[in-house]
Amino acid sequence: MTAGLLALSVFANSVAAQDLRLALWHVPLSRKGPGLLLRDLQRKEPSLMAIAQALRSADADIIVLTKMDYDATGAAVTELSKMVDGGYTDVLPLRSNAGLPTGLDLDGDGRLGEPEDTQAFGWFPGQEALAVLSRFSLLRSEIRSFNELLWRDIPGSHAEQVDSGLGVQRLSSGGHWVVPVRVPTNAGGDRVLTLLIGHAGPPVFDGPEDRNGRRNLDELRLWQQIMHGAQGPAPEPPFAFMANTNLDPERGEGNRSAMAEFLADPRVQDPLPGQITAEWDRPGPMRVSYLLPSSDVGVRAAAVWPSLPEEQHRLITLDITLPNRPSP
């Protein structure tokens, strides 16, 4: 076992027992072609084995991964679940908008069919999507996706300040998904815990028009609208926001004040204020992934785990106690 994995195992043993543990990780389970991730998982590629070992050490009841290539049959996430060997009886791939062709030259460089011309940057449809591994049943018939919403159509959109592709440009990059899970409670019976799962595009890699910055801001604003019932029924508590927003309230580019406002929303609580979740040589350490339970949830422990070697993003876990009121 490497030193990094040993540290993870020791850390796991030091965390107090919990009624339910959630885990979020923006770990790079992505390749530049369809089927390549599944191939590498089946080959037990060493970096993927290290990721699986870290997830095994975390021993979470529900894992959300926000950078995992999508395949319609769920073969990749099923293979990963086997490698983790954590009793995940229900796994679910969630498709992103990455790589979906628009047929337009969105970046205006005179060339069509490039990753920059898709609904969100991607080399193939569903790259850098999302996945859920759960020890409890996912209520598939109640899952909601907001991935097809056009950027220009959300209330208060900043899309009007961008001049290309607005007739087809979707807002969501990695995804906006609402996924209910039926979870047994300590008092008997069960409750529905709703997961708000997403991944926003970074507010960088553009020009003075700030296209990506504006889109990143509106992706966060869409989550606020979902939480407050402006995009259909608001999620009933208890819920957990589990997303990479690519936005730090204090550091880096993007609308930092919008992220700070989101964290101050009374519907959620922030168990890890100011904690670093990713680190680059430039721009340096930042907080870009968030695991925020609704305000009615009891928080027993929360942690950002040590980085694996060569990995920029860190695993986050949250130990919670759900309200004992049974679900209908």
Q: pLDDT digits over 187-197, tens only?
A: 677 889 999 99
CA distances from 301 to 17, 22, 165, 226, 316 (A): 9, 11, 45, 27, 11
CA distance 253 to 154: 23
As for how many domains the chain has, the answer is: 1
The count of other CB atoms within 10 Å of the CB of residue 99 is 22
Residue 328 placed within a domain:
no
For residue 71, the domain's CATH number is 3.60.10.10
Q: pLDDT digits over 96-109, tens only?
A: 999 999 999 988 88
pLDDT exceeding 70 applies to what percent of the chain?
91
Neighbour-count burial of 204, counting CB atoms closer than 10 A to its CB (0-12 exposed, 13-18 middle, 19+ buried):
middle
Residue 326 placed within a domain:
no
Look up the domain containing 69 and give its range: 3-321
Q: pLDDT digits over 212-246, tens only?
A: 999 999 999 999 999 999 999 999 999 999 999 99
Residue 203 placed within a domain:
yes
* Predicted pLDDT of residue 325: 64
Model confidence at 301: pLDDT above 50? yes
Indicate the residue type of 214.
Answer: R
Under a CB-based contact definition with an 8 Å cutoff, are residues 198 and 128 in contact?
A: no
Model confidence at 143: pLDDT above 60? yes
Model confidence at 34: pLDDT above 90? yes
Residue 119 placed within a domain:
yes
Residue 327 placed within a domain:
no
Global pTM reads 0.91
Residue 16 placed within a domain:
yes
Q: pLDDT digits over 311-328, tens only?
A: 999 999 999 999 876 544
The count of other CB atoms within 10 Å of the CB of residue 149 is 18
* Predicted pLDDT of residue 14: 33
